[in-house]
């Protein structure tokens, strides 16, 4: 991910190397190249515009004109503005004062929700928590089984509907899971919800019903970073239909151009909280804006 963007940006900065004072033309050319590189990496225009404006304001200011090495100063500004567009600081999970903390996952089918549920559960365990996974995706016949496989791998119990009791009713399963967690002293409940291949009203309603029933402490929107320009539209639809507190980017190991990662915060105003980058449960980490910016400018 970001290979083309990184190459384009470093070629742009190379043109500035060795220059003393930068002319207005140098700054204009550099900004035009940065803008193009971002758009070609599928970054949304809504994110590109304020980014370029922020870099321009600083590039035309004294911090560059007075700098001994203006080229280096521009790279520093781009780096800092990348960190800013990626959310600045890492946003940590908020835990409920009275356990269990309820985390609800939402997103399209195939986004990597079930895999992510396992990764998150495993990570929480390593942080000293006692999570359970909840199978509230009752749309796909083997979604429950898939979650059970993931739960086994993570070494985390899975709460699933008993045959004949709440089958087909994901709201009831999610509700019951909270009583179960309380009784068994599990401090985090991760609710996996159903996804569809496309955005649809029924899916949104079901997710909203689960949300209203379990009142999650955190709703995480799981977004496949490979879906490029559609990412923004999908994120906005979920923001509108269900609402969410944070984003998890999946498939960051893919060779997509990276636009989703750079746009989603600017477009939704919600922070990326976790990054998932592979099929193994360990391929998961808290999202660090400065590390991601570093990867882009590497
Ligand atoms: P769900 O439909 O949203 O629950 O998605 P799944 O968890 O079933 O994931 C869909 C597919 O993407 C599966 O084949 C996963 O193995 C794969 N997958 C999930 N996360 C990642 C990731 O971070 N990187 C890669 N390369 N594949 C992933």
pLDDT score for 120? 98
**Ligand 1 mean position to 206 CA, how many Å?**
22
Q: Is 243 in the pocket of ligand 1 (CB under 6 A)?
A: no
Q: Which of 135, 279, 281 to mutate to test the pocket of ligand 1 (most atoms within 8 A of CB)?
A: 279
Q: How confident is the model at residue 229 (pLDDT cuts 50, 70, 90)?
A: confident
167 confidence band (pLDDT: 50, 70, 90): low
Give the pLDDT confidence score for residue 163 in this predicted structure: 64
Residue 190: count of CB within 10 angstroms of its CB: 30
pLDDT band at 51 (very low <50, low <70, confident <90, very high): very high
Q: Give the integer Cα–Cα distance in Å for 219 and 250.
A: 16
Is residue 19 scored above 90 in pLDDT? no
Distance CA 242, CA 90 (A): 23
| C-alpha 150 – ligand 1 centre gap (Å) | 11
Annotated binding-site residues for GTP read 107-114, 192-196, 250-253
SS3 185: coil
250 touches ligand 1 (CB under 6 Å): yes
């Amino acid at each position: 991910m970001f290979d083309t963007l990184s190459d384009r940006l470093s070629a742009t900065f190379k043109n500035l190397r060795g220059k003393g004072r930068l002319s207005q033309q140098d700054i204009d050319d550099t900004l035009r190249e940065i803008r193009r590189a971002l758009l070609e990496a599928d970054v949304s225009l809504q994110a590109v515009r304020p980014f370029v404006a922020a870099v321009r304001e600083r590039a035309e200011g004294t911090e560059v004109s007075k700098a001994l090495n203006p080229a280096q100063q521009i790279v520093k500004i781009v780096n800092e503005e990348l960190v800013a567009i990626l959310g600045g600081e890492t946003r940590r999970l908020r835990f409920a004062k009275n356990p269990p903390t309820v985390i609800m996952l939402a997103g399209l089918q195939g986004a990597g929700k079930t895999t992510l549920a396992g990764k998150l559960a495993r990570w929480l365990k390593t942080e000293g928590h006692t999570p359970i996974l909840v199978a509230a995706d009752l749309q796909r016949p083997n979604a429950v089984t898939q979650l059970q496989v993931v739960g086994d791998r993570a070494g985390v119990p899975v709460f699933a509907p008993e045959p004949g009791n709440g089958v087909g009713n994901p709201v009831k399963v999610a509700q019951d899971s909270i009583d179960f967690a309380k009784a068994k002293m599990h401090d985090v409940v991760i609710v996996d919800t159903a996804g569809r291949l496309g955005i649809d009203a029924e899916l949104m309603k079901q997710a909203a019903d689960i949300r209203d029933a379990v009142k999650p402490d955190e709703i995480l929107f799981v977004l496949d970073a490979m879906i490029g320009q559609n990412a923004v539209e999908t994120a906005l639809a979920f923001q509108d239909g269900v609402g969410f507190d944070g984003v998890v980017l999946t498939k960051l190991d893919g060779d997509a151009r990276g636009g989703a990662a750079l746009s989603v915060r600017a477009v939704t105003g919600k922070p990326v909280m976790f990054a998932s980058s592979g099929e193994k449960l360990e391929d998961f980490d808290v999202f660090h804006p400065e590390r991601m910016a570093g990867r882009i400018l590497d």
